[in-house]
Amino acid sequence: MAFDEAGHRRFVTSKTPAKLIVLDSASGKVVTSLPCVAMNDDMAYDPGNKRIYISGNGFVDVFQQKDPVHYEQIGHIAGSFRAKTAILVPQLNRYYLAVPRQGANRQKCGFTRWCHELLA
């Protein structure tokens, strides 16, 4: 769950079917819902860039808030197997995805480059 206090929007996800649901925090009414990454586990809202990041089953979905009623998916970025935990660090303008160890070597996914481009 994430909260846009200034825009009076609460963001939640469902797993079956996988959806981003945008609620009006004053009335509780559904503003919109959009398909998102399956088995979602983490979400962050970046108020500076007006973006929502949702990590899940092998991907991170990025949604751009056009205005309080309209949202658009701007990214479906490959992550890594079982990598679902993430953190947004607005001070660094970065979104980090924790990638679990796979055998003797770490799985590399190129995620940092893509997130940096999406945040720029």
What is the domain partition of the chain in residue ranges? 2-119
Place of tokens 């990214």: 75
104 contact partners, CB below 8 Å, separation of at least 6: none
Q: How far apart, in whole angstroms, are the C-alpha atoms of residue 80 and residue 56?
A: 10
Flag the least confident range among 43-47, 55-59, 76-80, 109-113.
109-113
Mean pLDDT of all residues in 90-110: 69
- The predicted model scores a pTM of 0.82
Going 86 to 21 to 50 to 2, the CA torsion angle's sign is negative
Quickly state the pLDDT bin for 104 (edges 50, 70, 90): very low
Query: In the 8-state DSSP scheme, what is residue 115?
Result: H
Q: Is 56 exposed, middle or buried (0-12, 13-18, 19+ CB in 10 A)?
A: buried
What is the spatial distance between Cα 23 and Cα 9, in angstroms, rounded to a whole number?
6
Contacts 24+ apart (CB under 8 A), 92-98: 93/119, 93/120, 94/119, 95/44, 95/46, 95/53, 95/60, 95/119, 97/55, 97/60
Fold of 2-119: Methylamine Dehydrogenase; Chain H (2.130.10)
Say if residue 46's pLDDT is above 80: yes
